[in-house]
Structure 1
């Protein structure tokens, strides 16, 4: 399914295979589950990061998944529709403020992203990053992975980079960037 969705829309899907479990663990490692109320995931795809978050989050933590791809959204909805405080939204990441409001959240403590910023149009990237900056709290974190550091300066325009790690055992290998408001 993943390859088919990539072939249909490579600029939006951005990868030919789901992320590895090792990358998922690195993506959620910065999350302090005991101290958060709301986590948002952009582009959950097949749910590799989602499963890792659900395994660790408390029942009261609101978890909002925002997926634009219709097929991925449908599968995610079927899989997680009965999980407490897990909301699967078919929509655009730049509309995060609307979804937070819908689920009675003032801010996101953590936003994890599987979006392919390297292949997204510049205007779409800028719109999403602006929305992230306005919706994470002062102590909030934005965590994303990228296959190259080609867009690092774009991220640094909006955020302060706290930490970068690298996961070799992913196809392709990926950088994990942890950022806060700058």
Structure 2
């Protein structure tokens, strides 16, 4: 399914291949999800991160996934019958509208695979601005990217940005952990 969606919208799908288990572990292992009440995932695709997030999140928490593809949203709804999962078709730039509509917030963690290198720069900025607005005081963004286009966007909005490179993924990815609002 990922390959088909990639061919339909190469600039909107980060990769033709789902995230590897090695990438998922590398991105999520340094993050504490034990007290997370609300986690948001942008661009879940077929859900390799979604499944692991649900495994790590406590009972009674909520995972909101937002994808521009109704096919991915429907797939998640059908394949993951977990009451904590709310899969929505929409734009990550509309995060705060979606949160208000669902009566959710503030957000503890945002995980994103949105390809910031292939979307319009103003859209990337709007997505991160809405993310910063939605995050709680201890909120954090975890981004996995093939390129580094997201790095300056994160650096402009967060006091701390850590990064790592994971080679055991097709294609290799950079991982960013951003926290502490700037200014």
- 2:38 alignment counterpart: 38
Q: Which runs of 4+ in 1 moved over 4 A?
A: none
Structure 1 gap segments, 5+ residues each: none
Paired position in structure 1 for 2:133: 134
1:152-163 correspondence to structure 2 within 5 Å: 152-163=151-162
Shift of 1:14: 2.3
Native 8 Å contact 1:41 1:113 kept in 2: yes
Gaps of 5+ in 2: none
Give the number of equivalent residue pairs: 181
**2:48 is matched with which residue?**
48
- What is the Cα deviation at residue 155 of structure 1? 2.1
Matches within 5 A, 1:137-152: 137-152=136-151
Contact 1:59/1:84, CA 8 A, preserved across alignment: no
Deviates more, 1:128-137 or 1:54-63: 54-63
What is the alpha-carbon distance in structure 2 between the residues aligned to residue 17 and residue 122 of structure 1? Answer: 24
Tell me: CA distance 1:151–1:41, structure 2 relative to 1, closer, same or farther (3 Å): closer
Q: Is the 8 A contact 2:128 2:153 kept in 1?
A: no
Q: 1:122 is matched with which residue? A: 121
Asked if structure 2 preserves the Cα contact closer than 8 Å seen for 1:13 and 1:115, the reply is yes
Q: TM-score, normalised by structure 1?
A: 0.93
Q: Secondary structure at the match of 2:12?
A: helix
Scaled by the length of structure 2, the TM-score of the pair is 0.93
Give deviations 1:143-170, integer Å, cap 9, x for gaps: 1011122442222122234321111100
Determine the C-alpha separation between the residues in 2 that align with 1:13 and 1:85: 25
Offset of residue 48 of structure 1? 0.5
> What's the counterpart of residue 25 of structure 1?
25
CA distance in 1: counterparts of 2:149 and 2:134, whole angstroms: 25
